[in-house]
Chain A
Amino acid sequence: MIRLFLLVLLGAATAAADAPKAALVPPPQEDGQWTMPAKDFASSRYSGLDQITTQNAKDLRLAWTFSTGVLRGHESAPLVVGSTMFVVTPYPNTLYALDLASPGAPVMWKYSPKPESAAQGVACCDVVNRGPFFADGRVFITTLDDHVAAVDAKTGKELWKTKVGDINLGETMTMAPLVVKGKVLVGNSGGEMGVRGWLTALDAATGKIAWRAYSTGPDADCLIGADFKPFYPQDRGKDLGVSSWPPEAWKIGGGTVWGWISYDPDMDLIYYGTANPGPWNPDQRPGDNKWTSGIFARNPDTGQARWYYQWSPHDLHDYDGVNESILLDLPHDGQTRKVLLHADRNGYVYVLDRVTGEVLSAKPFVPITTSTGVDLKTGLLQYVDEKRTQIGKVTRGSCPASPGGKDWQPSAFSPRTGLVYIPHQNLCEDEEGVEANYIAGTPYVGANVNMYAGPGGMRGIFSAWDPVAGKEVWKTEEFFPVWSGALVTAGDVVFYGTMDGWFKALDARTGNALWKFKTGSGVIGQPVSYRGPDGKQYVAIVDGVGGWAGAIVAGDLDPSDATAALGFVGAMKDLPEHSNKGGTLYVFALP
């Protein structure tokens, strides 16, 4: 019914950064709703609503608020379907339905999946949840203790709940599901726990598991068969998910799937990234460690792989490959190519041909010292050997740091401006000395990792990126990493939040500040926009600092232990002075 992916048809002559975007094909028809965290299957996070403009954004006012009752990191996007808003909290993953047609948006119902409390002890990096998904009258959520639940959107009644993983094996779930053609797609988290990563499809009607595609191991487990046609020769061959590892290391090899999935209905392919390899150190797992830190294209009905590309073969720096992929049609060398655009943890904005998996370009969006580029002929990332972490060896100035140029926080794309809006961090790290630690009664050692602001001294950047020219158009600097998602609207206003608690609106074309609002806690959530029952355009965001970057506040970590939260605390020592815990939904509108 709705065109579910965006087309950017820029003629070669109009490809200059600020050329008028006259050749744009109209964006998907706007229905005023926000039914999935990414807004659409192309993952645009673009709202076609245009009441809020660069002219009037300064008049935005708080309309109403809602407390989630939880004080952990809130990374979730609220959804709006008709006159109902759905909000899912971090653990204990309570799902609320709010009635937008009544004053103050009272709670219509509340669904409590009651996840096992022991799951909190398993989660690596705060107990976040990245959002619900609405399809066919049902709201789907994942829980930290590895369940997927389908809830009747009208009544809040649980229709089914399926256990798909086990916290006793170190698995947790934090990602938002994606529902495509009657299949609920979910993946696991926990690469640090010796977990073997997978993407699983459940029947949306019954909750029965339809297929599971592992990220490591034999082809049969990875659903790699006759349809698999990767672009590069290094990805062809039998059982590479076994042979690119030391014997049996693939069984605990990581490659979890905790980020975002996009879907192209014309190609009938889903696209999703796999996380870093684990739990061995890099020098203990020689080989490419397939299929970790890469991207799969698969058929949603069968799970069969079509192609794969590895962002970071034999990952050295904890560069998970799970960030979002935005599906665009893009002019490239005089042709229009069906592409996906992906800003990776390793610091490059990739443009891939989404039909074949060929890398068309890979341009740095942050300072990079851990690699020198991507060889477009071979598709291979060119590592810098002296930035390889080794125990007892001092390595300084590795950029980007482990959380990458950008982590999970999703970008937005406007077909009006033709720009991608990338919330990201600017962090480098040193590894020095040996830190002794203790777990399950066993002493162990690791490199002492210290993260700090990269060149320029700011820890966060919000930038606008021209995907045609492959370069930054404008940027704003932020004190802390920009750990929230981005939203861009047809009024050419772009929204994001900061960890010190500012929710901001900028001019999407110039980056000029238009408006900001001080929230109670830092913002790491995903802003959305919708048309209310009164016909007005609203913008919504949930605050509540936390996540990996904000664990120092949400988890009450000790600022004097710089290496806590895998070294992230060192870069975030001053966050407690700027943000308390929180968990409040804020909804804004024009007067």
Chain B
Amino acid sequence: MSSRCRELALVVLVAGCALVRPAHPARELRVCADPNNLPFSNRHGDGFENRIAELVARDLHATVRYTWWAQRRGFIRNTLKARLCDVVIGVPSGFELALTTAPYYRSTYVFVTRADRLVDVRSFDDPRLRTLRVGVHLIGDDFANVPPAHALAARGIVRNVVGFPIYGDYREPNPPARLVDAVAAGTVDVAVVWGPLAGYFAPREPVRLALVPVSPQIDPPFLPFVFDIAMGVRRGEQDRKAELDDVIARRRPEIDAILDRYGVPRVGTLPTGAAS
């Protein structure tokens, strides 16, 4: 309570908290977000990260103010580190470029297939992956790609794999969704997609799609398909992190409800105590 008081006092430049009426919240939660990347966020506030930002802001008696920037290389540098905003709602736990809060969900890469074609793929060792047309996202930094791309290459599955640049065509809505569209359209037989993307877009396709978490969760020696997602703040801003950790702990059921509403597939249980 006292830390929030301090912050409010700073924002409104008054001597004490008593002068601030909660009915007129002066505090802003400054969020860095992509304006065109559902289900995470968009400019209209339709994404689950938009909803979570609103939830956090409500809890802190603040209003959300966004800095929009495509979440590409340089996103953190040009937004969070440039001090244009203070919080990124979704980053991997332990992300090097930011100080991360307690994770608030854990998701997995999933196999996405057309349910009517009954292609029930569960593992990268499924021999059918050698002949089916397989779609994955492509990143394109040197030697950096999505874990499924590495896993397929390590098994020599290459010629039947189709790459979809994660950046796509930014003139279109939600460019990464083209990979899920391709499964529905039959352009690829199976796509390996990050869970939140698949969980949101699959039910919106004209045909029914099946989602199966990939296995194993970690491909030896160390290729993870499961990631904990947290919020990110600037390194060194321990107070802000602690405050958000408290909000995440307090609002866990509401956060879960938002994730459910957006169809975010979750696996396992998050580490406990991290938010304390």
A interface residue numbers (CB < 8 A to B): 118, 120-122, 124, 166-170, 191-194, 246-249, 252, 278-281, 283-286, 318, 389, 391-392, 402, 431, 433-447, 449, 555-558, 561, 563, 566-567
The contact of B145 among A280, A402, A433, by CB within 8 Å, is A280
What are 15 A-B pairs at a CB distance below 8 A? A120-B74, A246-B159, A434-B222, A436-B92, A439-B72, A439-B139, A440-B175, A442-B146, A443-B146, A444-B139, A445-B145, A445-B224, A446-B142, A449-B143, A556-B77
Say yes or no for B163: interface residue by CB 8 A criterion: yes
Question: With A281-B150, A389-B143, A444-B146 as given contacts, are A555 and B77 in contact (CB-CB < 8 Å)?
Answer: yes
Identify which of residues 78-137 in chain B touch chain A, using a CB-to-CB cut-off of 8 Å: 78, 81-82, 90-92, 94-97, 137
Question: Complex formed: what's the CA distance from A555 to B82 in Å?
Answer: 10
Interface residues on B, range: 35 or more
Q: Within 8 Å CB of B150, what residues of A? A: 281, 391, 445
Question: Complex formed: what's the CA distance from A445 to B223 in Å?
Answer: 8
Q: Within 8 Å CB of A167, what residues of B? A: 170
Q: Pick the most buried of A120, A121, A555: most chain B CB atoms within 10 A of its CB.
A: A121
Say yes or no for B34: interface residue by CB 8 A criterion: yes
A440:B167 contact, CB within 8 angstroms: yes
Inter-chain pairs besides A122-B72, A436-B95, A444-B144, 20 sampled, C-beta below 8 Å? A121-B74, A168-B169, A169-B170, A193-B167, A247-B160, A247-B162, A249-B163, A281-B145, A281-B153, A283-B153, A402-B142, A431-B143, A436-B227, A440-B167, A441-B71, A441-B196, A444-B139, A444-B147, A445-B223, A558-B97
How many Å from the CB of B40 to the closest CB on chain A?
Answer: 4
Q: Within 8 Å CB of B10, what residues of A? A: none
Residue of chain B at shortest CB distance from A443: B227
Q: Within 8 Å CB of A446, what residues of B? A: 139, 141-145
B92:A280 contact, CB within 8 angstroms: no
Say yes or no for B263: interface residue by CB 8 A criterion: no
Residue of chain A at shortest CB distance from B194: A442
Residue of chain A at shortest CB distance from B107: A443
B72:A192 contact, CB within 8 angstroms: no
Question: Complex formed: what's the CA distance from A249 to B74 in Å?
Answer: 26
9 tightest A-B CB contacts, nearest first:
A446-B144, A279-B140, A194-B165, A168-B170, A441-B40, A443-B227, A284-B153, A192-B140, A168-B171
A283:B142 contact, CB within 8 angstroms: no
Question: Complex formed: what's the CA distance from A247 to B92 in Å?
Answer: 33
**B199-240 Cβ-contact flags toward A at 8 Å (1 or 0):** 000000000000000000000011110010000000100000
Q: Pick the most buried of B91, B92, B138, B235: most chain A CB atoms within 10 A of its CB.
A: B138
The contact of B158 among A170, A284, A434, A439, by CB within 8 Å, is A284
Q: Within 8 Å CB of B70, what residues of A? A: 118, 121, 440
Question: Complex formed: what's the CA distance from A286 to B156 in Å?
Answer: 10
How many Å from the CB of A484 to the closest CB on chain B?
Answer: 24
The contact of B161 among A124, A246, A435, by CB within 8 Å, is A246
Q: Within 8 Å CB of B176, what residues of A? A: 440-442
B222:A561 contact, CB within 8 angstroms: no
How many Å from the CB of B137 to the closest CB on chain A?
Answer: 6
B140:A278 contact, CB within 8 angstroms: yes
Q: Within 8 Å CB of B91, what residues of A? A: 438
B222:A252 contact, CB within 8 angstroms: no
